[in-house]
Structure 1
Amino acid sequence: MHDTTKGIIENFSSLVATLGYIPNSGNLQLTRRSQPPLFPHMVWEYTKSTGIYDRKWFESMETEMKFWETNRSISFDNHQLFVYRTLSNCPRPENFLGDYNMGMRTPNPSSVWRAISSACESGWDFSSRWMDQNSTADLSSIHTDRIIPVDLNTIIANNYRYMASYSDHFGLFDKSARYREKFEKLKEAIQSVLWDEGAGAWFDYDLTTQKKNLNFYPSNVYPLLIPGFETHADRVADYMKVSGALNYTGGIPSSLLAHSTQQWDYPNVWAPNQHFLVQSFLSSNNSFLRDIARRQMESFIDTVHNGLYNPMKGFDEGIWEKYDGRSRIGAPGRGGEYVAQEGFGWTNGAVLDFIWILNQYQERSDRSQPVQLNNTQQSSLIYAVVGFCVLLAIIMVFKGIIRPKSMQQLDEAGALLLGDEDDQDEL
């Protein structure tokens, strides 16, 4: 897998060198919108696993982050934060007629088309996160580029941290200090703008309504991935207990808005959300959240396994991009602009990582688990040890090592072998 990962990183690095960012797709028609900026995260995970630092990759990280700082940052409440905001203001090439007709029914078609494209940039295309909460049936109310997302800012904050570590490795200590300063400032901005003290979690901020979107989304807990925010773990645990998101056996849905018809909403469970959720909970020191992480990994593995090997009657077997979280039967998710896609790489990747994590937990548990004996086993062990010592003493007598004058001395020889200090003194 290291070779495969290296090849993927090399390809992405080449794209960044060519375009300045990683586009939504490798074909030309989708190069006006980016992917979420996870390249530094990918490189850092590879480096942690292999110990390999590549200067070219570091330069690509810097190039991509400059793109986001120049084209996707905003100033709000004396903080710099990041939004999804593409340059495209026309219908998507892959759905041109549908976007065109829908946009032309709105007062400002170009704004709607840009917001649609920006939602595609987020990966959550489409979700009630980007819309008026009471109007999710179509995309006419979408305004992605007017929303400060929790997950995007969490990703970029940690990117600065990874880049500071890379700078240290190459002896670029002034640069490292600048990245650490950017990390601290963005961390402060996330806490100031997106944290809600009453709810105990972080929420997207809507610049149009000037309010936080207090609906549940998995991204509400992602800042636990930021070092220092584990101090909020107890509050987040309380939030999860009352959120209603833990009531589903097939995983944690992408939202709890049952009226939405968008595919990144209820009841769909998506692998990247599950992966980020698990990593967020494992980053905390809260036993409840860590237990949720374990149960969610097991649940998602079961769901994917059943969808592939034990599909419900009427469903094809397969590994799906999204699942119906209301059960573990492995039924594909619903909603959106197209039928559920089969064979998605991120589902495979999340399951493989979950299996690896659970295996690591089991190995640590096996190593740390003391041997437990019941009363019968303890008595049997004691009798066996005493019997062995007596037998050994008898052998020693016959060998002439010990010459007892009586059976009492034979018992004392056995006591000597058992290590009784008082008996040693008598002998």
Structure 2
Amino acid sequence: MYPLLPVQKPFIVPGGRFDVYFYWDTYWIIKGLLVSKMYETTKGIIENFSSLVVTLGFIPNSGNIQLTRRSQPPLFPHMIWEYTKATSTFDKKWMESMEMEMSFWEKNRTIEVEGQTLFAYRTLSNCPRPENFRGDYQIGMNSSDPSSVWRSISSACESGWDFSSRWMQSNNTADLSSIHTDQIVPVDLNVIIAKNYIILASYSDHFGNFDKAAVYRRKFDQLSDAIQKIFWDDKKGAWFDYDIPTKKKNLNFYPSNVYPLMLPGFEQFSAKVEGYIKSSGALNYAGGIPSSLPANSVQQWDFPNVWAPNQHFVIQSFLASNCSFLQQEAKKQAASFIETVYNGIYNPVGVVGGGVWEKYDARSTGGAPGAGGEYIVQEGFGWTNGAVLDLIWTFRQDQHQRQEKSEDIENVTLNRSQQSALVYAAGGFCAIVAITVLAKGLISRKKQNRRGDDLESSALLLGDDDDDQEEL
């Protein structure tokens, strides 16, 4: 048993071996909680993270103390903004916590590239990870620079993409000794931070601090310019990670290549992104967008695996475009992923039983779990539940507003009974996980919320009453 960082409020864990709170997983967990109108649970989770920032100066990888030397993609402001949009609630102390979190990244994770200031995953670790000490030690000692390898392994874990061909120097992706994560400037991290600046500007406006809002808007403008200058390839029509030693872009396909579409002003590039995504081959897979192409890697954040965070962000990117093809493709991708997850629960293939998985095989909608990585595929799973609930809600609303479905979407969208089953399964899992955490003594019974509210509130998805309803 590992020591934990204590927090005051209940939380939801991803599931499986991940039996404590994790940073970036929680963004999609919160998306699902908000769809389920579990506002108090969401507020408590945000307050937990806010207290961690005040105590540590940043939000760590997870509540496991041995993982506190690194962070994860800084989605804390995104979590707060989602809660604010759902409840119209602004909390001044959260503004202070967001600023502390961003200050950590500005002081510790910036890098200069061709005169532009950008962000990269660059942990301070120079030793094997505690959770995989022996394996990391052997990998490092087989390299010419063990400390650099160990730092890059830790940095890859901070990225959330542990591990991927994105971080490798060698074509032999099975050999982690070629990893150099801290020498890669990633598109997605910079998009996340740029969006954080927009959120901080909006919060500053709300509290009447217009000078501070102007500062954050300038930071957004500067980072947006850097994203365009360093990552954009006009011939290809997408944004690509930048390799510092080679001074070249990594032109392989990764879902993050289209994430800048989520930023204001970047919709002007939609037509070129349409051409890129069509030619990339990424749309050729029935179960979702694969994590990389070409298909020559053995790492879990590569082909053929599709992960809920990537799928959700790609869909959000397409929806933010001004291109009708990409917007329609967003609906198709949402429907495909929902079907994949549904079949994984109720129509499992092969020898694996039904479940909600952390990753899936993109080559079909059969719901087969993904493979690869340092551990067997995990069942649960927090971000899959949250992403699917949010997608069901998003496109249900769209269908109500339009009062009709496009013919293409009708062919792949789940029927109402299937959506119902999927929502209840996700809600049920949330209840089971919460009860399990309580049983372990991680949360005080005195602070336990009434159980079953997640199942009841998830059922709101199936009705026509969209009025807000607080948790019981």
Quote the Cα distance in structure 1 between the aligned partners of 2:236 and 2:40.
44
Match of residue 284 from structure 1 = 321
Are 2:357 and 1:320 aligned? yes
Query: CA-to-partner distance for each residue in 1:317-342, whole Å, 9 max, x for gaps?
Result: 10000000001110000111111000
Counterpart code for 1:92? R
Equivalence map 1:17-416=2 (5 Å): 17-366=54-403
Quote the Cα distance in structure 2 between the aligned partners of 1:208 and 1:18.
36
Query: CA-to-partner distance for each residue in 1:167-224, whole Å, 9 max, x for gaps?
Result: 0111111111110000000000000000001100000000011100000000000000
SS at match of 1:258: coil
- Residue 27 of structure 1 and its aligned partner are, at CA, apart by 1.8
Quote the Cα distance in structure 2 between the aligned partners of 1:89 and 1:262.
23
Counterpart code for 2:114? D
Over aligned residue pairs, what C-alpha RMSD do you find?
A: 1.2
The gaps in structure 1 that reach 5 residues or longer are 370-427
On the 8 A contact 2:270/2:323 being kept in 1, the answer is yes
- Residue 257 of structure 1 and its aligned partner are, at CA, apart by 3.1
SS at match of 1:236: helix
Counterpart code for 1:23? P
Quote the Cα distance in structure 2 between the aligned partners of 1:130 and 1:285.
32
Task: Tell me whether 17-26 or 64-73 shows the greater mean CA deviation.
Answer: 17-26
SS at match of 2:77: helix
SS at match of 1:140: helix
- Residue 126 of structure 1 and its aligned partner are, at CA, apart by 0.3
- Residue 135 of structure 1 and its aligned partner are, at CA, apart by 2.2
The gaps in structure 2 that reach 5 residues or longer are 1-37, 407-472
- Residue 314 of structure 1 and its aligned partner are, at CA, apart by 1.5
Quote the Cα distance in structure 1 between the aligned partners of 2:227 and 2:123.
22
- Residue 2 of structure 1 and its aligned partner are, at CA, apart by 1.3
Higher Rg: 1
Quote the Cα distance in structure 1 between the aligned partners of 2:404 and 2:97.
41
Quote the Cα distance in structure 2 between the aligned partners of 1:52 and 1:7.
14
**TM-score scaled by structure 2?**
0.77
On the 8 A contact 2:399/2:405 being kept in 1, the answer is no
- Residue 45 of structure 1 and its aligned partner are, at CA, apart by 1.2
Quote the Cα distance in structure 1 between the aligned partners of 2:136 and 2:400.
52
- Structure 1 stretches of at least 4 aligned residues deviating more than 6 Å after TM superposition: none
Quote the Cα distance in structure 1 between the aligned partners of 2:135 and 2:330.
40
Match of residue 394 from structure 1 = none
Label 1:247 to 1:181 Cα distance change in 2 as closer, same or farther (>3 A). Answer: same
Counterpart code for 2:273? V
Match of residue 407 from structure 1 = none
Counterpart code for 2:391? F
On the 8 A contact 2:170/2:178 being kept in 1, the answer is no
- Residue 133 of structure 1 and its aligned partner are, at CA, apart by 4.9
Q: Which has the higher contact order (CA 8 A, sep 6+)?
A: 2
Are 2:43 and 1:6 aligned? yes
Counterpart code for 2:135? G
Identity %: 69
Quote the Cα distance in structure 1 between the aligned partners of 2:317 and 2:350.
35
